[in-house]
């Protein structure tokens, strides 16, 4: 076996193990935020729900099982260096790793082929897992964000291209309308990902990337960061609580990713992550050495 083949095999093994781990253990930032929300909660029903969540996460780790039965359709955001040597092999590595994790974890078979309407029974299919590629010039490593997008938190996903006259006021209204309707069933406290850009697809992509940013991180633009805070405080003031059943706060946070827009439009899209926000972040260098950034201290 060539060195390259060995590297491919090892990388498939590591990513599969990481996917299985992500299904069972929350990333450090989400775990810390849930703990903080639970500690601050005063509402008795909400406290019971937070206690249930804690018991569940402990059991998942102890019994080595996926903490939620809906392990989603696997999505990967890949930021790959233009000089990364396994660029051509990555897609197959991610596909094979998804299949392997599905057997090992085990993950639920969530891949239904549209039109022919059958479950492949493998958790991979025509376009699953979904991979979003960003090429990073002059780098020779690769950053991978595995994400399990469950049905419940995918359902609120929504976007609209507004006229500029509706402004950022229209953006705020769009976000809040969604959170008080579909958001209630999406397993709050949610991480709310908002994308603001030009056409609807650009906004949607950014709303997804917003969910890959750590909870409690801030947008790099001062006004965007201000709007994140306004929306977070505003949604918290609704006292939606865990499961949408009432409580002191409502969300883990609001992350906004934004880009340039055509002068005639302002597109907004929202994607939400449930409280059980199973997102990973890992980096491989060109030789296959890896580091896990989302779950500190984990190795496979």
Partner 1 sequence: MAKHILTTPIKRSDLDGIKAGDIIYLNGHITTCRDVAHRRLVEYGRELPVDVREGAILHAGPIVRDHGDDKFEMISVGPTTSMRMEKFEYEFVKQTGVRLIVGKGGMGPETARACKEFGALHCVFPAGNAVLAATEVEEIESANWRELGMPETLWTCRVKEFGPLIVSIDANGDNYFENKKVEYNAKKEEVLEEIYKHVSFIK
Binding partner 1 (rule: CB under 8 A), the pick from 136, 225, 238, 298 is 238
CB of 276 to partner 1, least distance (A): 4
184 counts as binding partner 1 under rule CB under 8 A = yes
Distance, CA of 215 to CA of 273 (rounded, Å)? 11
**Do 282 and 144 form a contact (C-beta atoms < 8 A)?**
yes
For the chain, the maximum distance between any two Cα atoms, rounded to a whole number of angstroms, is: 62
Stretch that binds partner 1, among 11-19, 85-93, 240-248, 286-294 (CB under 8 A): 240-248
6 counts as binding partner 1 under rule CB under 8 A = no
Looking at the DSSP assignment, which residues form a beta bridge with residue 135? 80
Give the footprint of partner 1 on residues 38-77 (CB under 8 A). Answer: 45, 48-49, 52-53, 55-56, 59-60, 63, 65-71
Q: Residue 115: enclosing H or E segment and its boundaries? A: none
Nearer to partner 1, 68 or 282 (CB): 68
Nearer to partner 1, 7 or 98 (CB): 98
Binding partner 1 (rule: CB under 8 A), the pick from 47, 106, 140, 283 is 106
Q: How many CA atoms lie within 13 A of 136 on its CB side?
A: 13
176 counts as binding partner 1 under rule CB under 8 A = yes
Name the pairing type of β-strands 251-258 and 190-197: parallel
Quote the Cα angle for 86-87-88, to 5°: 90
CB of 226 to partner 1, least distance (A): 7
Q: CA nearest 192: which of 240, 144, 145, 259? A: 240
Binding partner 1 (rule: CB under 8 A), the pick from 276, 279, 282, 290 is 276
Binding partner 1 (rule: CB under 8 A), the pick from 152, 218, 225, 265 is 152
Give the footprint of partner 1 on residues 204-233 (CB under 8 A). Answer: 223, 226-227, 230-231
Binding partner 1 (rule: CB under 8 A), the pick from 96, 243, 255, 267 is 243
185 counts as binding partner 1 under rule CB under 8 A = yes
Stretch that binds partner 1, among 14-22, 82-90, 93-101, 244-252 (CB under 8 A): 244-252
CB of 125 to partner 1, least distance (A): 13
Distance, CA of 95 to CA of 48 (rounded, Å)? 39
What's the DSSP call for residue 130?
E
Nearer to partner 1, 269 or 282 (CB): 269
Return the beta strands (E) in the chain as ranges. 73-81, 112-113, 118-119, 130-136, 142-149, 158-162, 190-197, 251-258, 266-273, 282-284, 290-292
Give CB contacts under 8 A, 24+ apart, made by 1-8.
Answer: 4/85, 4/86, 4/89, 7/86, 7/287, 7/288, 8/86, 8/89, 8/92, 8/93
How big is the site for partner 1, counted in residues (CB under 8 A)? Answer: 61
Q: Which residues contribute to the site for partner 1 (CB under 8 A)?
A: 45, 48-49, 52-53, 55-56, 59-60, 63, 65-71, 106-110, 119, 121, 151-152, 155, 164, 167-169, 171-173, 176-177, 180-181, 184-187, 223, 226-227, 230-231, 234-235, 237-240, 242-246, 274-276
């Amino acid at each position: 076996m060539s060195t390259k083949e060995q590297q491919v095999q090892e990388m498939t093994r590591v990513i599969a193990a990481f996917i299985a781990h992500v299904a069972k253990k929350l990333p450090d930032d989400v775990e810390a935020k849930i703990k903080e929300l639970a500690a601050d909660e005063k509402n008795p029903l909400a406290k019971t729900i937070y206690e249930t969540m804690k018991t569940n996460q402990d059991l998942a780790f102890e019994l080595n099982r996926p903490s939620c039965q809906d392990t989603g359709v696997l999505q990967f955001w890949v930021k790959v260096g233009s000089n990364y040597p396994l660029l051509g092999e990555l897609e197959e590595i991610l596909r094979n790793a998804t299949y392997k994790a599905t057997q090992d974890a085990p993950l639920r078979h969530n891949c239904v082929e549209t039109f022919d309407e059958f479950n492949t029974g493998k958790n991979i299919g025509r376009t699953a897992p979904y991979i979003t590629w960003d090429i990073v010039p002059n780098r020779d490593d690769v950053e991978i964000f595995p994400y399990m997008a469950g049905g419940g938190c995918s359902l609120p996903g929504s976007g609209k291209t507004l006229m500029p006259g509706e402004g950022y006021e229209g953006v705020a209204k769009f976000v809040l309308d969604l959170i008080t309707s579909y958001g209630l069933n999406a397993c709050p406290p949610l991480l709310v990902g908002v994308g603001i850009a030009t056409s609807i697809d650009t906004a949607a992509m950014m709303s997804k990337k917003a969910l890959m940013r750590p909870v409690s991180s801030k947008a790099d633009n001062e006004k965007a960061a201000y709007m994140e805070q306004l929306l977070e405080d505003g949604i918290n003031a609704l006292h939606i609580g865990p499961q949408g059943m009432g409580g002191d706060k409502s969300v883990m946070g609001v992350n906004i990713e934004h880009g340039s827009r055509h002068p005639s439009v302002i597109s907004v899209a929202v994607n939400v992550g449930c409280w059980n926000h199973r997102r990973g972040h890992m980096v491989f260098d060109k030789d296959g050495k890896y580091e896990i950034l989302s779950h500190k201290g984990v190795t496979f």
